Amino acid sequence: MMGEKTPVALLLSGRGSNATALIEACTAPDFPARICLVLSNNPDAPGLDMARKAGLPTKAIDHRPFKKDRAAHEQAIHASLLEAGAEAVCLAGYMRLLTPFLTTEWAGKMLNIHPSLLPSFPGLHTHERALEAGVRIHGCTVHLVTEGMDEGPILGQAAVPVLPGDTADLLAARVLREEHRLYPRALRHFLDKAAPSCQAETALLVA
What residues act catalytically? 114
d(Cα 11, Cα 58) in Å, to the nearest integer?
10
182 HSE (CA, 13 A, CB side): 32
Which has the closest alpha carbon to 142: 183, 173, 177? 183
- For residues 147 and 64, give the distance between their C-alpha atoms in angstroms, rounded to a whole number: 22
Find residue 144's DSSP bridge partners.
Answer: 111
Residue whose C-alpha is closest to residue 206's, from 144, 153, 162: 162
Q: Is the dihedral of CA 47, 60, 112, 151 positive or negative?
A: positive
Give the residue among 3, 4, 10 at the shortest CA–CA distance from 184.
10
